[in-house]
Structure 1
Amino acid sequence: MSTTTETGELTRRVRERLAGRHPGEPVGDLRTLPGGHSGLTYSITAGQVSYVVKAVPPGQRPIGRNDVLRQARVLRALTGSPVPVPGLVTVDEDEPAWFAMEFVDGEAIEPVLDEHRLDPVLCRTRMLALAGVLRDLHGAAAEPAEPLDPAGELDRWTRTMRAVPTELRPGAEDLLSALAAGLPASVPPTLTHGDFRLGNVLCQGERPAAVVDWEIWAYGDPRIDLAWFLLFADHRNFPRLGRAVPGLPAEEELLAAYLDGRPEPPALDWFRALARTKMAAIMGHNLRRHREGRHHDPDQERLPPTIAAMIRTAGDILARRP
């Protein structure tokens, strides 16, 4: 946790940089934004304009989710593309590093998981629109980098799953073995978000206004994003957690919207199974942290039925593959 002195120094640096963009106008103080899971996230005003600031926590290394400069790079790469992202305003690479981006007003609501009173027709419209945004993301120009292939993605979530106590992940070892035995061939890599869903997109009315939370973006297999996005189309994938939303597009309709007449990518069922494995691993990790007292959240006790269902249905999907 940052100290008052450290926060004050960050505030000074941010205010000084923003003052140069708003000469003669008042610049406010940093205010912590709730809900962030990477680095430190603040809001600040300069004149009549609001900004969001993401910073490396003092004393922390800028790696993984704390690597805010990496997040700034992907925002810069997507500026001017069809993919809506917050505008990158300024970057300060001095330690601890930070960057500022435009504040985008909007709702980030996952229809089948979040408590909300949105019109089901609006939820349907947003989800179908987001399929087009995902297609645009996978078509965006990207500076070539070492790609994350299916084997690398499986390895990442295998490690996460195996850090979860075995009693919280029934059948996981058989599932991991089946996934490893059926590794698909790679396809040309693209930019991927890593957690692409409506809960990570600020919407204004029917329109996706800004894709946010780029902590785990990669240059990798687009089927990783696609299968993850499809997982959130059906509340029945989340026993005890999901809520029915009448008229929400099913996986097949979402997939058709994403493909827009193109053929379905090969081995998509393997990635559907991987998406469920990833969800089970993440939920198991969160439940473990709660039960160990590392992050008290009684709501995590609702997760076991969904963890078990994710593992079971992933195995069923793999079993039907030719």
Structure 2
Amino acid sequence: MSTAGMSTQETELADRVRDRLSELHPGVPVGELRTLPGGHSGLTYSVTAGDAKYVIKAVPTGQRAVGRNDVLRQARVLSALAGSPVPVPGVAALDTVQPAWFAMDFAAGEAVEPVLDEPGPPPATARARMLEIASVLRRLHDSDISTPGLDASEPLDAAGELDRWSRTMHAVPEELRPGGEELLARLAQAVPGDVPPVLLHGDFRLGNVLCVEERAVAVVDWEIWSVGDPRIDLGWFLLFADHRNFPQLGRAVPGLPTEAELLGAYLDGRSALPAMDWFRALGRMKMAAIMGHNLRRHREGKHHDPDQERLPPTIVAMIRTARDILG
């Protein structure tokens, strides 16, 4: 495993990965760690060991293994779901010595958000994938949360989720979130009652599900998994069904399922979940808060990214349509 151009910390990580994979695959060459682009938390690499290929997730040097950087927590949920109806990559190895890391099987496939990513799959394929992963989300929510490894902190409920994201929204300057205060007030006036908690992915959408043709082969990016109200996951997933939610960012894809069709695929004949409109509005508020936060950081010079200047119309649309949904 070449260490040319690596920092001391990366070299140490490469050595640890090489030693562990050599134990798993005695007598075969272990390749170089190659950075995988697109990750927003922790360190992510690919590596080969003979014919086998793995993805390595590691805690960044000097950072604490908490939140999105707690890679062992990610490995725990993947191990708990191994062999379940929810397709996930297998965990091949893990190392608890800090900075911790784990290796998971490399899953071939593409994770493409039809209304946001270019180039996207053919419209018929995009439609089939969205309906497919609606049923995957159902199976995820049907997981037994008493399974060892799926223990989590206090379950997320509607009130807690609203409080958390209201703080994020309030950190965004008011001029970047017109109508945001009214939306927060209306959400706070009608917080739904609880339903039984389930396993939550936290960012469930096609961009986090690897697909081959029309089939989902692996749900990935488990950094913010938790246990809580299933409508939190569902309201977020439905947000990505319509390009009109993303002015200047989204693209029209003919034939994508409507939110009603996706809900039907998720429920699969079961009783409808109450207060879904509230959670649909909550999902839009969360997206507006995230985009407003990113735009603020750009304008303050904390993270220079001129592409963030495309966000204001979508932030406005998210807040407006959330208020419309609430009636």
For normalisation by structure 2, the TM-score amounts to 0.95
Residue from 73, 76, 79 that aligns with 1:76: 79
Residue from 151, 154, 157 that aligns with 1:149: 157
Paired with 1:100 and 1:173, the residues of 2 have a C-alpha distance of 44
Query: Structure 2 matches for 1:252-291, cutoff 5 A?
Result: 252-291=260-299
Contact kept in structure 2, 1:191 and 1:218, CA below 8 Å: yes
Secondary structure of residue in 1 paired with 2:134: helix
Shift of 1:276: 0.3
Shift of 1:11: 0.6
Query: Structure 2 matches for 1:11-160, cutoff 5 A?
Result: 11-143=14-146, 144-145=151-152, 146-160=154-168
Residue of structure 1 in register with 2:219 after alignment: 211
Residue of structure 2 in register with 1:227 after alignment: 235
| CA RMSD, 1 decimal | 1.2
Paired with 1:6 and 1:135, the residues of 2 have a C-alpha distance of 41
Paired with 1:88 and 1:274, the residues of 2 have a C-alpha distance of 33
Shift of 1:46: 0.5
Residue of structure 2 in register with 1:316 after alignment: 324
- Structure 2: tracts of 5 or more residues without a match: none
Secondary structure of residue in 2 paired with 1:232: helix
Paired with 1:286 and 1:77, the residues of 2 have a C-alpha distance of 33
Instruction: Kindly provide the amino acid, as one letter, of the partner of residue 206 in structure 2.
Output: L
Instruction: Kindly provide the amino acid, as one letter, of the partner of residue 101 in structure 2.
Output: W
Pair 1:293-2:323 in alignment: no
Secondary structure of residue in 2 paired with 1:20: helix
Residue of structure 1 in register with 2:177 after alignment: 169
Paired with 1:23 and 1:110, the residues of 2 have a C-alpha distance of 39
Shift of 1:163: 1.1
Pair 1:246-2:249 in alignment: no
Instruction: Kindly provide the amino acid, as one letter, of the partner of residue 162 in structure 2.
Output: L
Paired with 1:216 and 1:154, the residues of 2 have a C-alpha distance of 16
Equivalenced residues, count: 318
Secondary structure of residue in 1 paired with 2:254: coil
**Could you tell me the percent identity over the aligned residues?**
72
Instruction: Kindly provide the amino acid, as one letter, of the partner of residue 304 in structure 2.
Output: H
Shift of 1:3: 6.7
Paired with 1:97 and 1:105, the residues of 2 have a C-alpha distance of 25
Instruction: Kindly provide the amino acid, as one letter, of the partner of residue 257 in structure 2.
Output: P
Paired with 1:17 and 1:274, the residues of 2 have a C-alpha distance of 44
Runs of 4+ in 1 over 4 A off after TM superposition: none
For normalisation by structure 1, the TM-score amounts to 0.97
Shift of 1:48: 1.0
Shift of 1:16: 0.5
Paired with 1:112 and 1:216, the residues of 2 have a C-alpha distance of 23
Secondary structure of residue in 2 paired with 1:76: helix
Contact kept in structure 1, 2:113 and 2:120, CA below 8 Å: no
Paired with 1:4 and 1:273, the residues of 2 have a C-alpha distance of 45
Contact kept in structure 2, 1:77 and 1:142, CA below 8 Å: no
- Structure 1: tracts of 5 or more residues without a match: none
Q: Deviations over 1:140-195 (max 9, x none)?
A: 11235421111111111111111111110111111111111111101000001111
Shift of 1:289: 1.4
Secondary structure of residue in 1 paired with 2:241: coil
Contact kept in structure 1, 2:114 and 2:120, CA below 8 Å: no
Paired with 2:16 and 2:322, the residues of 1 have a C-alpha distance of 48
Instruction: Kindly provide the amino acid, as one letter, of the partner of residue 45 in structure 1.
Output: T
Paired with 1:99 and 1:117, the residues of 2 have a C-alpha distance of 31
Shift of 1:117: 4.4
